[in-house]
């Protein structure tokens, strides 16, 4: 999006709480993913545009058939600043669509990270790569014979939030929010304003002023 600041600036200056507050102000009250979705590394920040994949349960894979076909198409087509968003109808204890090899492929294409309400595996190696991954849990089971990506670049629901291709995804230690692409420029601009006001509020509190005094002046808390 040309009317947004660079993703690196958004990731450096903003955080999920302020984006969630601004989304609430704008009437988008349901954009924070359910809290079971957590980062593999709590120091990581996930910031990028959604590329979605919708998974479905299966109970059999025909011999000779590639069950990863659409999954590979999505990862191979990732571009710089994009986030693989994998909808697995989580929480789930059986579907682990993301692992080390997909992380390697996505990272080399400049992708910004992965978000899924399913499970991930190969966690130690993913952490070593410092690739932002936010997931519904950790488990060793492959998707083969259990789940397959049925469609890519479609609207999906992840951890209770509808996400469309191109939506701005932001995650940190507090959780994940999805900013609808139609309002992302206004939401980001307002969030940057709010951060500046919060910085002034913090400085005033450190100087000894009361919460009521600084709230009356800056209107943030």
**Domain residue extents for the chain:** 7-182
3-state secondary structure string across the chain:
CCCCCCHHHHHHHCCHHHHHHHHHHCCCCCCECCCCCEECCCCCCEEEEEEEEEEEECCCCCCCCCCCHHHHHHHHCCCCCEEEEEECCCCCCCCCCECHHHHHHHHHCCCCEEEECCEECCHHHHHHHCCCEEECEECCCCCCCCEEEEEECCCEEECCEEECCCCEEEEECCEEEEECCCCHHHHHHHHHHHHHHHHHHHHHHHCCCCHHHHHHHHCCC
Query: Residues 53, 164: contact at Cβ < 8 Å?
Result: no
Model-level pTM? 0.92
Average pLDDT, the chain: 94
Q: Give me the helix-helix angle, 184-206 and 16-25, nearest 10°.
A: 120
CB 38, CB 119: distance < 8 Å: no
CA angle 98–47–177, rounded 5-degree value: 85
The answer to whether 136 and 92 have CB atoms below 8 angstroms apart is yes
Cα-flanking dihedrals φ and ψ of residue 144, to 5°? -55, 125
**Residues of the chain with confidence (pLDDT) below 50:** none
CA 20, 25, 28, 34 torsion-angle sign: positive
Under 8 Å between Cβ of 113 and 168: no
What is the pLDDT, as a whole number, of residue 25?
95
Which residue has tokens 């957590």? 38
137-138 and 156-158 strand pairing: unpaired
Q: Tell me, what's the pLDDT at 213? A: 87
Q: How far is CA 147 from CA 48, 84, 142, in A?
A: 26, 17, 9
Q: Which CATH architecture has domain 7-182?
A: 3-Layer(bba) Sandwich (3.50)
Record the tokens describing residue 162, joined without a space. Answer: 């509808």
Tokens 């939506």 correspond to 167
């Amino acid at each position: 999006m040309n009317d947004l600041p660079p993703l690196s600036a958004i990731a450096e200056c903003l955080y999920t709480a302020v984006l969630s507050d601004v989304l609430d102000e704008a009437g988008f009250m349901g954009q924070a993913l359910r809290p079971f979705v957590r980062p593999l590394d709590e120091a990581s920040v996930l910031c990028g545009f959604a590329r979605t994949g919708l998974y479905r349960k299966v109970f059999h894979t025909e011999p000779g058939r590639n069950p990863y076909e659409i999954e590979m198409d999505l990862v191979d087509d990732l571009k710089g600043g994009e986030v693989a968003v994998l909808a697995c109808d989580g929480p789930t204890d059986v579907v682990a669509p993301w692992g080390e090899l997909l992380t390697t492929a996505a990272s080399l294409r400049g992708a910004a990270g992965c978000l899924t309400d399913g499970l991930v595996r190969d966690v130690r190696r993913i952490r070593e790569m410092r690739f932002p991954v936010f997931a519904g849990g950790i488990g060793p089971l492959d998707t083969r014979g259990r789940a397959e990506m049925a469609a890519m670049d479609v609207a999906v629901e992840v951890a209770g939030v509808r996400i469309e291709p191109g939506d701005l995804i932001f995650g940190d230690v507090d959780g994940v929010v999805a900013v609808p692409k139609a309002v992302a420029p206004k939401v980001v601009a307002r969030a940057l304003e709010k951060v500046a006001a919060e910085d002034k509020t913090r400085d005033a509190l450190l100087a000894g002023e009361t919460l009521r005094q600084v709230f009356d002046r800056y209107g943030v808390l």
